[in-house]
Amino acid sequence: MIKILNQIGKYFLMLKEVFNKPTKWVVMKPLIFKEMDDLIVGSMAIVAFISFFIGGVVAIQTALNLTNPLIPKSLIAFATRQSVILEFSPTFISIIMAGRAGSYITSSIGTMRVTEQIDALEVMGVNSLNYLVFPKIIALLLYPFVISVSIFLGIIGGWLAGVYGGFISSDEFITGIQSGFIPFHIAYAFIKTFLFGFVLATIPSFHGFYMKGGALEVGKASTTSFVWCCVVIILIDYLLTQILLS
């Protein structure tokens, strides 16, 4: 327990240091664009693939469980929309990103630690935490864009699976999508996404930056950062749901 509290304190001290002594914009600008390419653009393919088929699976499972003829088929679209917007896109995709982007961040920074590149930065008087972590935080401010694409593709996947699977007509699906829509649910999804993006940028960076050992420990640090990202994402999801939706 003491070790965990020590790590939490160390994490918050790291966040303070990230925003101290900023690197010159001329140096920082290309780093930010590189991180956008690696973390955002590089993740779009896997996010699009998973979102599309998750939406289809939700629609099919909902349709197969609607055995009562008195329940309108438009409920298939309603359930797909609610599931995708409230949980599947913001939370499920963030856990996938913890594996994809989080492991990349931890391993890249951990490798720099092993090869003493971080020590070289500090010898040159560079704030290594700002240089390494800040561009990732800025890049992941675009993470809500990834989730908006995920929501769109999830609903499209549900529509295609429902209509072409013969479970629901296109008109009924559109009616279900529109019924009982609460705009705040979109805001709720994006609030979660902003916090998840910050978690995805900082927790893997923490485990990569403070790792000790050699190449073997880089893999262990990546696994540890993935586990902690998932734990924190689930806890934030629970707290925000209690605060914003209850």
In residues, how long is the chain?
246
- What is the band of 78 on the pLDDT scale with cuts at 50, 70, 90? very high
The per-residue pLDDT for 166 is: 87
The one-letter amino acid at 107: S
For the stretch 116-166, pLDDT in tens is 888 888 888 888 999 999 999 999 999 999 999 999 999 999 999 999 988
Q: How far apart are the C-alpha atoms of 193 and 144, rounded to whole Å? A: 6
Q: Which has the closest alpha carbon to 154: 55, 79, 75, 59?
A: 55
For residue range 182-215, what is the model confidence (pLDDT) as tens digits?
A: 999 999 999 999 999 999 999 999 999 998 877 7
Q: Taking the model in full, what pTM does it have?
A: 0.91
pLDDT of 214 reads 78
Mind listing the pLDDT tens digit for each residue in 97-123?
Answer: 999 899 999 999 999 998 888 888 888
Query: According to the model, what pLDDT value does residue 205 have?
Result: 94
More confident residue, 2 or 134: 134
Would you state the pLDDT for residue 95? Answer: 94
Looking at residue 24, what is its pLDDT? 86
Cα–Cα distance for residue pair 63/162, rounded to 1 Å: 8
**Mean pLDDT of all residues in 27-54:** 93
Residue 67 has pLDDT above 80, yes or no: no
Residue 66: the pLDDT is: 82
What per-residue confidence (pLDDT) applies to 211? Answer: 87
Lowest mean pLDDT among 3-7, 110-114, 171-175: 3-7
DSSP letter, residue 66: -
pLDDT of residue 217: 85
Residue 1 pLDDT greater than 80, yes or no: no
Q: What is the DSSP string of 10-35?
A: HHHHHHHHHTSSPPPHHHHHHHHHHH
Q: What are the helix (H) ranges across the chain?
A: 2-18, 25-35, 44-65, 74-83, 93-97, 103-114, 117-123, 128-139, 143-164, 170-178, 184-209, 215-245
Amino acid in the structure at residue 168: I
